[in-house]
Amino acid sequence: MSMAAPDPSGSALERAGPLTWWMGPPPAREFSSIVSLAPSLTAAVAALGALDRLIACTRYCTSPRESLTRIERIGGTKNPDVERIAELRPSLVLANKEENRKDDVTAIARHAPVFINDVRTVPDAAQLLRELGALLGQSAAGETMAAEIESEWRRVRAASPGPPGLRCLYLIWRKPYMSVGGDTFIHAMLDACGFGNVLADAARYPEINADTVARLRPRVVMLSSEPYSFGERHVARVREELQLSPECAVELVDGELCSWWGPSTARGLRYLEDLRRRLESIPAPVAGQVLSRRR
């Protein structure tokens, strides 16, 4: 979703903070009814203590699972039900630049104020929790989570071996296989924890194939639990289809911990640090035999 220019509908973007923008009608001073258009935002609302104000979220919003059972679902991140959102008349809609499409956000902004964010780095995640906490009247909670993220980020960076890191290829999709470039939040998490993303020079989410893997020679291929739900049944297929060498480990990883910015970020940093240390302790000739559980 481009943030470069006002929308032709007249819903111009207005800077709200370092990582955020407003679109749509002027926001109220307090927000009694919230719609979230991204899983990370839903988890953040809950962690900030504002779940009682959440009236709707996407079908991909799964955390905190038990607390969301009675929350209305308004479609997906890429195809939200704009008409239903308008009927709900929320006082605040939360959107993400990467997760949501500009056309959908613009349409929603004709009916309700939309708070848009863009997170690319670990410090960004901390800053956004501060901004969202202040917006929802939960500044103390936002500051607590932000401080924990920053503390863990500094710690894991200091403890990591530094570049080039453990060479990894992180897969988010199959048919076609897709990975992560150096301008993504997942890359920032990997980099902080001592992994060397073999596609660090690529942008966004490049498609890859067996030739790509042969050229880049990763030490480990990570199969994320989301957005594509890689599981144990895919390990042999990935090995065959990408023609992985016996020395290359294949790991099933928790996509929420690796890619959701917010309340899970500090735990995600610890998770990836532990994974790197375990992989580094395995002799390369037998690494290809490793199969990790996600947690």
* Domains 15-118 and 162-292 equal at CATH topology level: yes
Strand partners, 116: 21, 95
What digits encode the pLDDT tens for the residues 243-294?
999 999 999 999 999 999 999 999 999 999 999 999 988 776 454 554 455 5
CATH class assigned to 15-118: alpha beta
In this prediction, what percent of the chain has a pLDDT beyond 90?
84
Q: Tell the residue number behind the tokens 């708070």, with chain if given.
A: 115
Domain boundaries, the chain: 15-118, 162-292
162-292 CATH fold = Rossmann fold (3.40.50)
> Phi/psi of residue 39, each to 5°?
-55, -40
Quick check: 10 pLDDT over 50? no
176-196 in b/e burial notation, b at 16+ Cβ within 10 A? Answer: ebbbbbbebbbbbbbbbbbbb
Average pLDDT over every residue of 207-220: 96
Comparing 115 with 5, which gets the higher pLDDT? 115
Sheet holding 166-171, edge to edge: 195-197, 166-171, 220-224, 249-253, 291-292
Average pLDDT over every residue of 192-201: 97
Quick check: 134 pLDDT over 60? yes
Q: What does the pLDDT read at residue 7?
A: 43
